[in-house]
């Protein structure tokens, strides 16, 4: 075979091989595309089937039992127990607002060397009792009753006496607040005991409040120590001495 013819033959063979490679690749690509299309179609079919099923369910006559009406789902087991808790809660909210006001009065009208620390301390205490008023008011709402926190109601129904008007001294403010907070403490312990069995959730909130009331009273009384005192001049020191002596 002439050399030229052989070259042409080789070129043709190479061309043929390249064509076959390209054709093979194109075929493989087409197969992949087909597979992907089939997958998409299957997904589409599944989605259509689910939608049809859901639409069918919506049209069914299946009866689903409703939960009890919300009016029948208030906490506690009877109207009497809820009313009892509500009575306590209303009074507590009123007295908490009253306490808030007492601490604000002391915060504003304070005079004396202890002005700055007491001014700040009374503000934090006022904030604490205002926040508790919200907790107890909303517990009353949760039990199915409205709350009355209007100023005229607070003035008419609070069991705590007003603070005196005008300026007050630093040590005088301590005694005034201790007196009011002690009345509130006694009432709140009674509230807690009264609802302890019938409404333990409300009782639990009273316990939280009392933790803070007891803590505040302790801190207020500490201020009544004279400089250099270790506590022997505190109001309860004489009683403690008698208790230790068994008298
Ligand atoms: Fe202030």
In the chain, domain spans: 82-244
Q: What is the pLDDT of residue 10?
A: 60
SS (H, E, C) 81-93: HHHHHHHHHHHHH
For ligand 1, the distance from its centroid to the CA atom of residue 124, given in whole angstroms, is: 10
> Nearest-CA neighbor of 199 among 131, 147, 143?
143
For ligand 1, the distance from its centroid to the CA atom of residue 108, given in whole angstroms, is: 7
pLDDT tier, 6 (very low <50, low <70, confident <90, very high otherwise): very low
Cα 237-100-84 angle, rounded to 5 deg: 90
- pTM, 2 dp: 0.67
For ligand 1, the distance from its centroid to the CA atom of residue 120, given in whole angstroms, is: 8
For ligand 1, the distance from its centroid to the CA atom of residue 67, given in whole angstroms, is: 50
For ligand 1, the distance from its centroid to the CA atom of residue 121, given in whole angstroms, is: 11
When mean pLDDT is compared across 54-63, 116-125, 128-137, 144-153, the lowest value belongs to 54-63
Q: What is the pLDDT of residue 12?
A: 54
Fold designation for 82-244: Ferritin (1.20.1260)
Crossing angle for the helix pair 170-195 and 79-109, to the nearest 10 degrees = 170
Coil/strand/helix, residue 168? strand
For ligand 1, the distance from its centroid to the CA atom of residue 71, given in whole angstroms, is: 43
For ligand 1, the distance from its centroid to the CA atom of residue 100, given in whole angstroms, is: 13
- For residue 167, what are the CA distances in angstroms to 110, 175, 177, 221? 6, 14, 14, 21
For ligand 1, the distance from its centroid to the CA atom of residue 115, given in whole angstroms, is: 12
């Amino acid at each position: 075979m002439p050399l030229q013819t052989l070259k042409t033959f080789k070129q043709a063979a190479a061309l043929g091989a390249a064509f076959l490679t390209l054709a093979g690749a194109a075929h493989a690509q087409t197969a992949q595309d087909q597979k992907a299309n089939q997958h998409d179609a299957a997904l589409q079919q599944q989605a259509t089937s689910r939608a049809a099923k859901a639409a069918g369910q919506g049209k069914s006559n299946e009866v689903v039992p409703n939960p009890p009406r919300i009016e029948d789902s208030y906490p506690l087991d009877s109207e009497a127990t809820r009313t009892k808790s509500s009575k306590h809660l209303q009074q507590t909210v009123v007295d908490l607002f009253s306490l808030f006001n007492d601490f604000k009065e002391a915060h504003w009208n304070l005079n004396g060397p202890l002005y700055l620390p007491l001014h700040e301390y009374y503000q934090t205490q006022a904030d604490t009792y205002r926040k508790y008023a919200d907790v107890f008011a909303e517990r009353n709402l949760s039990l199915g009753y409205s709350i009355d926190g209007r100023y005229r109601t607070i003035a008419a129904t609070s069991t705590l006496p007003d603070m005196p008007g005008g300026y007050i001294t630093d040590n005088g403010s301590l005694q005034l607040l201790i007196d009011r907070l002690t009345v509130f403490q006694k009432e709140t312990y009674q509230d807690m005991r009264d609802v302890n069995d019938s409404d333990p959730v409300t009782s639990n909130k009273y316990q939280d409040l009392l933790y803070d009331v007891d803590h505040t009273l302790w801190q207020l009384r500490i201020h009544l120590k004279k400089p250099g005192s270790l506590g022997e001049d505190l109001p309860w020191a004489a009683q403690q001495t008698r208790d230790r002596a068994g008298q």
